A and B are shown apart, each in its own frame.
Chain A
Amino acid sequence: MVKIAVTGDDAVAQAAKAVNPDVVAAYPITPQTIIVERFADFVADGEVDTEFVTVESEHSAMSACVGASSAGARVFTSSASAGIMLMYEIVFIAASSRTPIVMAIANRAISGPINIHGEETDQMLFRDSGWISLFAEDNQEAHDHTILAFKIGEHPDVLLPVAVGLDGFILSHAIEGIEPVSRQEALDFLGGERVAKLKLDTTKPLSIGLLHLPDYYMEARAQVRDAQERSRKVILEVFSEWEKRFGRKYNPVESYMMEDAEYAFLTMGSSAGNARTAIDELRTKGEKVGLIKIRVYRPFFGEHVVNLCKNLKGLITIERSHSFGGPGGILSQDIKSALYGTGVSPLMAEYTIGLGGRDTLIRDYHIMYNRAKEAFNTGKNLPIYWWGLRE
């Protein structure tokens, strides 16, 4: 297998090139810009057959995507932070219109103060929109997720848009070796062109996304709710097929060194890479520590997390996001909800790290671990704590 050295953004653009979508409508925003730039190159060089719609804003980008997808096209777009904030209205409409758009998000902090660096809050914020939400740990995962997302979203039992997150700059601008998927491999995996059952067709006219007053709105939303539930099975099947074809095994919730672990880090995205290295180092000192990594954030595979937590004394959540005034971090709230009533209740230490792209180094994981373990040994939980914050 030939490897290529690419940035995370380039890895996503290469994946989109392999898929050869019918329509891409996107607007550049740091740190996602390279995705759009690279893809525009592919279009200009005739390497893809895509209709590239150069729009004047992200609101228009997502609107064009919903229109194209409603017409039965395979659609890709990409954004981050303020761009997503601007397209927010249409983000929700994309889910309720059942348009399986794939959007790569180079996760970036939200203004203000204005900041262009890595943080996952932008993608966490539309967790309630009906989108399926994936987070990548490295560039290979960002590449793979982009192709997987089309297969999951376009499945007739699902028909939901899918967000593919990669941490801004940490992945989006860092060069790593990846094994690229070829055009033929991608199309074989996806089963050829998209076949849309519900679509705008002049020979069989219909209306999509009509006004729903109180007498029909809940029914329309319940269909999105059920599609999210059905997607759980589809995600597991698609991951299993991916492993058969490409040899890379993915689970909605990943584990590392969890067999005999007494303590575990739980995180998402690129933080999992640092956690792995910290765990390797802590293991040499005899610490029984492992890693739980959330790959699929929505739908949330709570029972997978609970199963991994069964023998834990303490769980250390580390997330690159925060909910002001909330009962913990955004991710740790989900973890606590998943554990409630299961009889599995490890002590918890919650950390928010790296907001606005602040570095959290491997040595920080050692200190966070020791601080948490000390509290666990005295039977205490540690409430949400902003790691690396100056007082």
Chain B
Amino acid sequence: MPALPTDVSDEEFKEWVKEKWGYKKLPMAGSTPPGSSKFFKTGDWAAQRPKLIIENCISCLKCYFFCPDNAIKMVVGIDGKHHPEFDYFYCKGCGVCANECPGRKGDTAIVMEDL
């Protein structure tokens, strides 16, 4: 009989996702431990990924607010201002950030690159 999801540690769960466990090992009823989605690498769904052109970034935070996956963090750069950092573990490459980016004087700060 499959184990209960509550018996599975975070470390084991990372293996579960990576190894794609079979039905004899998986807990029953499609059950998982709480907060399990944070271990799923949705980044490998992406066909493109965003890239920052830092000199065009005006620190407006638009990309940060629009990102549907919370995959953007604002970090302080060498210029002392906040700029986006992309978390490619979760970024699905939707391109919303690049689309919303106003850039500096019309020159965009985020471009989408093919993977």
- A-side residues, CB < 8 A to B, are 96-98, 156-157, 159, 197-198, 204-210, 212, 215-216, 218-220, 222-223, 226
Main secondary structure on chain B at its contact with chain A?
A: loop
- Let me know if A159 and B28 touch, CB within 8 A: yes
Q: Which of B32-40, B48-56, B57-65, B69-77 contacts A (4 or more CB under 8 A)?
A: B32-40
Contacts of A209 in B (CB 8 A): 29-31
Closest to B2 in A: A223
Q: Which of A97, A208, A215, A222 contacts B20 (CB 8 A)?
A: A215
Contacts of A215 in B (CB 8 A): 20
The A/B interface has a contact count, at CB < 8 Å, of 61
Q: Which of B23, B32, B33, B34 contacts A223 (CB 8 A)?
A: B23
Contacts of A206 in B (CB 8 A): 4-6, 31-34
Q: Which of A156, A207, A219, A222 contacts B31 (CB 8 A)?
A: A207
- Let me know if B23 and A219 touch, CB within 8 A: yes
- B-side residues, CB < 8 A to A, are 1-2, 4-6, 20-23, 26-34, 36
- Let me know if A156 and B30 touch, CB within 8 A: no
Q: CA of A209 to CA of B32 in the docked complex: distance in angstroms?
A: 9
Contacts of A210 in B (CB 8 A): 30-32
- Let me know if A216 and B26 touch, CB within 8 A: yes
Contact flag A97-B6 (CB < 8 Å), given A219-B23, A223-B23: no
Q: CA of A131 to CA of B4 in the docked complex: distance in angstroms?
A: 22
- Let me know if A198 and B30 touch, CB within 8 A: no
- Let me know if A157 and B34 touch, CB within 8 A: no
Contacts of A96 in B (CB 8 A): 29-30
Contacts of B2 in A (CB 8 A): 223
- Let me know if B30 and A212 touch, CB within 8 A: yes
Contacts of B26 in A (CB 8 A): 216, 219-220, 223
Q: CA of A331 to CA of B34 in the docked complex: distance in angstroms?
A: 43
Contacts of B32 in A (CB 8 A): 206-207, 210
Contacts of A159 in B (CB 8 A): 28-29
Task: State the Cβ distance, B12 to closest chain A Cβ, in Å.
Answer: 14
- 10 sample A-B contacts, Cβ–Cβ < 8 Å, listed by A number: A96-B29, A159-B29, A197-B4, A198-B31, A204-B6, A207-B5, A208-B29, A209-B30, A216-B20, A220-B26
- Let me know if A205 and B30 touch, CB within 8 A: no
Task: State the Cβ distance, A130 to closest chain B Cβ, in Å.
Answer: 11
Task: State the Cβ distance, A128 to closest chain B Cβ, in Å.
Answer: 18
Task: State the Cβ distance, B63 to closest chain A Cβ, in Å.
Answer: 27
Closest to A157 in B: B1
Task: State the Cβ distance, A75 to closest chain B Cβ, in Å.
Answer: 15
Closest to B33 in A: A206
Contact flag A208-B31 (CB < 8 Å), given A215-B20, A220-B23, A223-B23: yes
- Let me know if A207 and B36 touch, CB within 8 A: yes
Contacts of B31 in A (CB 8 A): 198, 206-210
Q: Which of B20, B28, B33, B36 contacts A198 (CB 8 A)?
A: B28
Q: CA of A219 to CA of B31 in the docked complex: distance in angstroms?
A: 12
Task: State the Cβ distance, B68 to closest chain A Cβ, in Å.
Answer: 17
Task: State the Cβ distance, A206 to closest chain B Cβ, in Å.
Answer: 5
Q: CA of A210 to CA of B2 in the docked complex: distance in angstroms?
A: 16
When A and B form their complex, which 10 residue pairs have the shortest distance between CB atoms, in order from nearest? A219-B23, A222-B23, A205-B34, A98-B29, A208-B31, A206-B5, A204-B6, A220-B30, A97-B29, A207-B32
